[in-house]
Amino acid sequence: MAPVPASGSDNKPIILVSYPKIILLYPTFFGSIVAAILAFFFNPLHQHNQTIAVVFLTLMTINMVVLAFDFPRTTSLIVFFVLVSLAMGILLLSIYFPTLLPDVAAMLKRINPRANSTFYICFATMLGLIYIGVFIHIRFDYWEVRPNELLHHHGFLSSLERYSAPNLRISKEIDDVFEYMLLRCGRLILHPSNEPRAFVLDNVLGIDRKEAAITKMLGALQVQIRDERSASL
């Protein structure tokens, strides 16, 4: 007997997209826009311009660390933020009170990190163009969960692969607390019952909501299958 699709809102397909990790750089993207606006009002030699550069570089470094390492525990994330806050405080004190920490102030004077608003605008534009490319790409590579089948759309010619959705096994993994905090993203593993391999989707946004929706859809489908079979006996 063919499975009966779940009724109501459970019939609506659930779209799953695996994003590249570069989407996690969005704080740096918005930070560069803010830095461009602030730097526009200050001369490149102004002291505030150096502060803007230091804050921007710190933000970008934090973002790069998110891409490079995983923070599986909240404790490790707290320790990281404490260290970053201490480093930021030391740098800012050295800029505005050079006699307080003369060695650090001398180091900053030698490095002299500064940038004008054009630099930040160019950086934001470059990252923005990459984001546009990413959002175009995902329109040609995504998964669709329906009550009775799992579809994989991929390629510019809209290639389509179909898998059986009933008895689909799913598992959720959140390996990085930082990434989860930024975009509520994580890894979703799909294992159709008739497939020897599992499909791993990294950086699925709103992973908790997606997992709950899939579980609700497939759970409702299984209940309806059982009810129909029992009614026919």
* Choice between 175 and 219, residue whose per-residue pLDDT is larger: 175
pLDDT of 7 strictly over 90:
no
In the chain, the amino acid numbered 119 is F
Q: Give the pLDDT of residue 26.
A: 94
Which residues in the chain belong to E strands, given as ranges?
A: 14-16, 141-145, 149-154, 159-164, 169-173, 186-191, 199-204
Q: Give the pLDDT of residue 220.
A: 54
Q: Give the pLDDT of residue 2.
A: 39
In the chain, the amino acid numbered 201 is L
**Residue range 1-27: average pLDDT?**
72
Quote the percentage of the chain above a pLDDT of 70: 89
- Sheet with strand 186-191: strands edge to edge: 169-173, 186-191, 199-204
* Choice between 87 and 28, residue whose per-residue pLDDT is larger: 28
pLDDT of 231 strictly over 70:
no
What is the Cα–Cα distance from 133 to 143, expressed in whole angstroms? 19
Q: Looking at the chain, which residues constitute the CATH 2.30.29.30 domain(s)?
A: 11-20+137-232
For the stretch 145-196, pLDDT in tens is 988 889 999 887 778 888 887 788 888 888 888 888 888 999 999 988 788 8
Fold of 11-20+137-232: PH-domain like (2.30.29)
Q: Give the pLDDT of residue 148.
A: 85
**β-pairing verdict for 149-154 and 159-164:** antiparallel
Extract the tokens encoding 54.
């230091």
**pTM beyond cutoff 0.85:** no
For the stretch 31-70, pLDDT in tens is 999 999 999 988 777 778 888 998 999 999 989 988 888 8
Strand partners, 161: 152
Angle at 20 between CA 18 and CA 26, to 5 degrees: 115
CA dihedral over 175, 141, 7, 9, signed as positive or negative: positive
What is the Cα–Cα distance from 92 to 52, expressed in whole angstroms? 10
Helix (H) or strand (E) holding 13: none
pLDDT of 99 strictly over 70:
yes
**β-pairing verdict for 149-154 and 141-145:** antiparallel
